[in-house]
Structure 1
């Protein structure tokens, strides 16, 4: 007769063995696993504690020195002229920006821990250790810099600086040298920047002085060649007082002027005077013998005016006493007409002389347009060079004064001090870490050992591995409590009207005492029915019921898989299984 494998059993058989290992982690089972291997965990933890304690005792004490420094110059609010130079993009690259913004402070902190700043301190420490007979072959700057810690106190520009070393006697000399190095560094960049700025200005002034003299000579030579006034013959001072000089004009009689518009001004003034004289000359000619043309600007006519006024007075007196046709009155009238004509002629002659002079002056300042424009261009360049030169000379004076001014270095707000107690090693912390590490390593080792042994302690994993339902969980610590559940099983699930035999199949290894106790109790419950305790499935297949008996850790996963496969091949239904465990929790 051929036994067929039931479909559910075949599906379970076809599932990979690893399926029972893909469950979620049960923390209670993990805790039970750790409890089962408590001796292993305790051993690993004790070993780690001993090792960490030995490590803490073998380490040399680490000493620390500290001081505080303000990352600002007391004189950072510099002179107004120097601030103006810093605002100038041309010189800001030399003088630097002394602002204390948060980003610049962080940059400064990074620079202070750089090898370029701490190199002298490193050389000193290396030399001291070498004198003590310590091998400094592997003493590297990059490793030593980690002993210097620079922290910016939050919300301030105060730096907390500390240095650590195993040599207590070396702490104070090194911390003092660090403070001196930082103070020297605080003024180093400022001095170097100002020196570079002074050198740059001196070079530019030397070149521009030559260029300014050349441009002024060109303008003056052009003026001489074209009969123009010599403009800009004086040079500007370093203080830049050129506005008043440029405002000075020149009279029509000649003289030096400053400013490219003086030629146009002279020409306009000369033309205006010519026009005025021509109008006066026309008016004097139109006056004739009857009216005197008064020209008070001429001192030569003052006496003639006086004589004319006397004659007019005499005429008025005679007209009051004599008739108009009197010979004496007619004679006075002729004398007055003659004197009037003479005064007008005298005035005309003087006006003509002034007109000729004014026309000559107009001719002297009148030049072709191209000549005037060229002269204006040359003078503008000469004056521009002079102004630039004066500005640079003023800036050079400011930088020289700033260079001569002494500045205070960064202020120490606490003296370098050595802490009374070493800061390392922290023995309690090392031992605590050893305990923690031992527990973690011990727990990990326990889980690995438990997993490699493959024994199944989890009720849930047994449920999934066995191809039948769990009927009952019995407490091995109290065998007397087994009687009632077993009798209920015998009268219920295991009842058989035909009085067929019952096969009790141990799963893996069940302690003999527990197996015997369960067998006796079950035999009493089933009475005269036969009870077969066997692991041979060929013997159990003829029984009316097959009952599996399991205990935690009694079988490994491979044994469970083999049992599952054999039961599937047998094709005989399994009634269920009973779990013997210390727990009294019923599933």
Structure 2
């Protein structure tokens, strides 16, 4: 059969000879979606819609278990004998808070509550053997069959809210037994209260005496420690001594500050005097001593007379005359003598001819310099002495601080011990006053009477309880049954679990069991033509919803990519029996009806089915094109009658190694050749479970569609398939095609069904009815 005569289409501007690693012209398709992730484990959040769906699916289990549970519980309630109950209220504490202070202290010291009574503990004591056994002995004189355990199982003691009242209740099938047992129990509780109240007071007084003895010893020990501390450190009051030392320290610091101020004021005067005199104080003293030396003064006088003579003769004679030279020689002889005498007295090299001419002002300045230096020396000595005293006082303050902490700790312990001792003395006095009074027993505020003994059986309540328990057990059984079932039961659950887009939802069509195709292969011009192909109302509705699902799938495949359309698509499933081949056939018919040139290739070389669906021979097909040298592949392509856009390539002869054929270079060349002549090529591939044919075929396609059938596909198998595809598939997984979805006449299809088909076929349908 020849190919369509239209011009071959090249996708994305590429011709033959360019491809995806095989030298072909296969278009480079970039899918919109990322490769599908593995299944995601969800949390334990309650999904009420999913819960309702589970109950609907497991309605039989739910209703069966609920009915059995309800019936069993109802029979159990009806078979039980009637029960009677009586109760008595006991006031166990005074209404006003008159608990003695001493008893409150004792209870508080022993860990009791603020009210003086721990009701939980009190109830346990009342149900204990010490209280119940004397009461049981009196009861068994009349009713010997009542045992200890039987009495406790029917006896209830509870606190009435936050009140000081205990409610005592007893249940039995005989109202006379209820009345007698409650009388004996209440009488025994009242006797116990008297003994217990007196016992509490005696135990409290004993406890106080023991505490007082301990506190007396503790106070004496602390007082002895305080006396020893005062003797050891010779201090009566550490705080007073510390305050005195602190005052002395502050005074010393003030005096030291004053001395330093005076010393700072003298330093500029000292520096100025030293600059004016030109000597330090020691040198000035020695210079003063030099002025008082007779030898030095005599030599200095001779030198001055000689200099005067030289000056007078120099006015008369030249400097080189013998007289002037003789006078100069005399002068030079006097200078060493004068310098020797000055160094002997002063102790350093000085200008001997100038030291002897100090006037009264210079001598006064030197005297003031010496006095200032002496005064500064005195102030520095005083500052050092005060600094040493300050350090001693600071050390003393630090020692007193350490002693103060020890003293305060001992004093604090003594204060606490004395306070506790005084409190215990007051409590003991109050306890002795309380012992002088008569302890009041517990008071019955609601005595037992015949009218207070009531029948406790409540049939409506029991029936309601049986209903609730039955529904809960039925729900649990339904959930467990659904938990065991690993199949997917809803489209939302499937999409949520796989995180893959749903490209089509194929409704369940029981009519497929009678005929392989619900959409006729003949070309339909309008939707009304599709509808009028069926005559019965049920088949009419089924054909519409079924066909509309495949038209939606075809449209979704168009819109997967805006740049490069999906031209070659492979359909597969996880396991056999999910309707993969039927989906391929109807998708091909829907695409052909929409005006696209479609080639349906039966790639299931192991178990082909497309020739059976379309009632065509399978003499030669895909396997023959790959294994044999056929010049024109179009000779094996079948054009289906009634639809010039729909073509079929059957599987052909069954080869011994289908995988080798599907992965061959010849298979790639055939696919690329078909691409140039068809708008859409659909491969029907085997299931993924245990076979690699689908993955090998998908390597030649633009994408892979996974057909999943509700109520059949299991979670573990889908998980394994998706993980395997994510690791090994060379084509992107475009999405899901959910098959076998239950139909609902309330869906949106019903509206469009009426819009398209009801006006044209309503009369015919009424006549057939």
Q: TM-score range by the shorter chain?
A: 0.3 to 0.5
TM-score (norm 1): 0.47
Task: State the TM-score, normalizing by the size of structure 2.
Answer: 0.37
